[in-house]
Structure 1
């Protein structure tokens, strides 16, 4: 890539202003920009007007910088002095040429109302503001990026239409938006009816879950039933996004224990959907696979929301409080959170049928679906890792689907565990681990490492729990 050639147009307002312009030119030159400046390139005996005209019209000069102070704007508007002469050359260039990226104004001075001094011909165009020292560094970076044609924000490649927008017989949108808007407004503004609005919304979602039910109708249907499971999961995205937004709103704005209890009851009411319904007809465990995915995903996001907002006690509430589920297939009625992660046979069938050879289609889907949720996928991995470790403290199992991406990642530690380097932060977060202190956590890790069959592995990669939570550096600083 060739070095950009830039002409700087300015007014000789004061010696101090000239020095400022000269310093700016030197800084730009040090950044690889071939700066053309009258003090360097206009020699005795040269025609100043011809010099300015050539700088503006020369196609090899790819950038023209207009240093705008009060004097420059006045001369440009009155067409007097060098700035006025340049204005006569620049104006038609701005308005008749298709290339608009050649000229940019740098604001050096503002009026008493904080309005930038700009020539009339430049009004309404985007400028770079170097008049305020507080934002100088950020604005100077914009200037460099403009000069090198390296914008900070680049248009991404167009993706495909989301599958949940594609019309088919499985496309179902749950009618929960009215209740959602009322509930989230109540939470954000601490309305007196917040509990009632929350219960109304969550009960609406629960009742509408029945509309997502799918089932194998015949043997031929079973062969591609995984397609229907995937479509159903994708079609739920709009409703899921509402719930995620609601989880975050509660984690951010509410400390009401009644709201937490309502969320807990909501998850209890979702559990029956993961088992065969008590209705006539033949039903297979695979019929509930879409529900198994959705309730698992929702629990991960709920926990991630409270961890993200550093509401650790509230997050621990969902981990430590059992869930009531009068399951007809078991005499047990109270369950740990581990019941929310159940095996999905349909995804295993899909992996084989399509010869995808993926280590975990479920992890792949959770990762892909995390985009545009307000969460980084690493937030979801954090919640998953906490649930895995806490299940062990209850002598139970939780398969951390998402940690597949952690074992193959070269990125740094997850934020929660990196921050636990601080003793004060660890004291706040230790409730997530269910320990009194770091020594008790160490004992749990030793017990886990003595039973390697309890440590997840994928292909040739095995999770290192001690490293994943940054145990050695925990509580080592203030």
Structure 2
């Protein structure tokens, strides 16, 4: 077992109360595994107090030094009271400058009349630990301990490998970046050409998505699918930026029909192209993930920006499919067509012996970190898609499996959309989004989930509580 860190406490003998505060702090640190050197304990009669202080600061066995700062300490450290060095426990600027500054941290015991921490001038620009406020004492004492033990709360992750679209020059691209920039600039400047530019962008996006069709090679199919999904990341982020710009600078209702037609145009990618006669079940799985993820993000961005009516449009409208598609005789399908089962990821889980509850959920969660959209908004989007499908569709095949909610199984409160729906006005918009006219139908569905444990989405022993995610008891309780 390694030896405990040794720490020296520098402080001012301001008042007897302050000295006792320092002793209490030192005692807490000792009880927490720190070997504290304190004059009250270690300086004996007849010893040179100045030599003692300087030895403690320069001693290589002392790994940390705390400067307990109050108004007296700051004043004497700056040499404004009695001259530098007259207070033997105070570290002057000269002593401080001779040592590695990483060895020191200021602990605030007192603030001035303006509420500012009392700090020596030489320390003004450095980070300190504030123990002057009782309501945050425990939290900040933990920060102090983490500094002493070199165990920061946040650690820089190991550097991973660059994504394939960065290091591989032959990675496919849509070639839409110039158009995307034009659309975004036009939206921000309220230019009249935005509609035409957006149509051109979405049309080219849809057409060039063909470039991501997976070709045969000797690698594992699931590896090719995951690589294709990774290669698509810049294009996904480009679309997210455009939808975000529309949501921030315009009323998306003016453009939502174009977004609807865009998703209509990419539906065929989810199944066999007309010219292909031989195929396997996993051949189009990269498109199944890509299209599903894009739809989730479009709904997520609209809901995040409170453009509920635009999201409602995309969820309520049918999507036309060509007669030669794999959707049988159906001329139109609901948005649930954008989420299809991916056998390849199940194969991947087994092949790599990953033992993951959902590779797809893991991918969605990991990829959200480079999207500019917080994952909680993606989960909210997924939950709304799931809930609306269950509330409005009677066919068992026409459901939406909420992949991301695997990460919401320990979510102990309502999503933001439902938390805001405590307002009756807001609630009416949310109910329209879910496709129900009143709370009774929503309650009936939530009661159904509660009474049938096999009904709500489950992953082995993990399941969501739809009632908690909706916060039903608080809905519509305020004007």
Aligned residue in 2 for 1:241? 237
**1:160-193 Cα deviation digits (max 9, x unpaired):** 4434445386x22333333333434454565665
Aligned residue in 2 for 1:255? 251
Does 144-153 or 346-355 show the bigger shift?
A: 346-355
Q: Is the 8 A contact 2:5 2:35 kept in 1?
A: yes
Residues 80, 462 of structure 1: alpha-carbon distance in 2 compared, 3 angstrom cutoff: closer
Q: Is the 8 A contact 2:383 2:402 kept in 1?
A: no
Correspondence for 1:72 among 77, 91, 104:
77
Aligned residue in 2 for 1:159? 160
2:86 is the alignment partner of 1:93:
no
Does 359-368 or 417-426 show the bigger shift?
A: 417-426
SS in 1 for 2:284: helix
Q: CA deviation at 1:323?
A: 2.2
Correspondence for 1:384 among 382, 390, 393:
382
Distance in 2 (CA, whole Å) between partners of 1:93 and 1:247 is: 53
Q: CA deviation at 1:342?
A: 2.6
Q: Is the 8 A contact 1:106 1:127 kept in 2?
A: no
Residues 23, 337 of structure 1: alpha-carbon distance in 2 compared, 3 angstrom cutoff: same
Q: Is the 8 A contact 1:455 1:462 kept in 2?
A: no
Aligned residue in 2 for 1:288? 284
SS in 1 for 2:128: strand
Aligned residue in 2 for 1:419? 419
Aligned residue in 2 for 1:395? 394
Q: CA deviation at 1:351?
A: 5.1
Distance in 2 (CA, whole Å) between partners of 1:134 and 1:242 is: 47
The TM-score normalised by the length of structure 2 is 0.76
Distance in 1 (CA, whole Å) between partners of 2:129 and 2:10 is: 16
Aligned residue in 2 for 1:7? 8
Q: Is the 8 A contact 1:380 1:402 kept in 2?
A: no
Distance in 2 (CA, whole Å) between partners of 1:88 and 1:250 is: 57
Matched ranges for 1:45-444 at <5 A: 45-66=46-67, 67=69, 69-74=74-79, 80-82=85-87, 86-94=92-100, 100-105=101-106, 118=120, 126-128=126-128, 142-167=143-168, 171-187=171-187, 194-215=194-215, 224-279=220-275, 286-329=282-325, 332-350=330-348, 360-392=358-390, 393-396=392-395, 397-402=398-403, 405=406, 409-413=409-413, 415-416=415-416, 419=419, 422=422, 424=424, 426-444=427-445
The TM-score normalised by the length of structure 1 is 0.76
Aligned residue in 2 for 1:97? none
Q: Is the 8 A contact 1:25 1:35 kept in 2?
A: no
Q: Is the 8 A contact 2:221 2:344 kept in 1?
A: yes
Residues 25, 196 of structure 1: alpha-carbon distance in 2 compared, 3 angstrom cutoff: farther
Q: Is the 8 A contact 2:446 2:466 kept in 1?
A: yes
Q: CA deviation at 1:305?
A: 2.3
SS in 2 for 1:93: coil
Q: CA deviation at 1:336?
A: 1.3
SS in 2 for 1:8: strand
Residues 38, 300 of structure 1: alpha-carbon distance in 2 compared, 3 angstrom cutoff: same
Q: CA deviation at 1:49?
A: 1.4
Distance in 2 (CA, whole Å) between partners of 1:88 and 1:301 is: 57
Q: CA deviation at 1:429?
A: 2.9
Distance in 2 (CA, whole Å) between partners of 1:439 and 1:69 is: 65
SS in 2 for 1:65: strand
Q: Is the 8 A contact 2:131 2:141 kept in 1?
A: no
Q: CA deviation at 1:209?
A: 1.1
Distance in 2 (CA, whole Å) between partners of 1:148 and 1:450 is: 50
Q: CA deviation at 1:295?
A: 0.6
Q: CA deviation at 1:240?
A: 1.4
SS in 1 for 2:389: helix
Distance in 1 (CA, whole Å) between partners of 2:250 and 2:163 is: 33
Distance in 1 (CA, whole Å) between partners of 2:365 and 2:190 is: 33
Residues 403, 253 of structure 1: alpha-carbon distance in 2 compared, 3 angstrom cutoff: same
**1:14-39 Cα deviation digits (max 9, x unpaired):** x57x8557635634543546654556
Distance in 1 (CA, whole Å) between partners of 2:351 and 2:324 is: 33
Distance in 2 (CA, whole Å) between partners of 1:88 and 1:406 is: 53
Q: CA deviation at 1:292?
A: 1.9
Q: CA deviation at 1:319?
A: 0.8
SS in 2 for 1:435: coil
Distance in 2 (CA, whole Å) between partners of 1:470 and 1:115 is: 43
Residues 455, 45 of structure 1: alpha-carbon distance in 2 compared, 3 angstrom cutoff: closer
Q: CA deviation at 1:286?
A: 4.4
Q: CA deviation at 1:432?
A: 3.0
SS in 1 for 2:369: coil
Distance in 1 (CA, whole Å) between partners of 2:313 and 2:221 is: 37
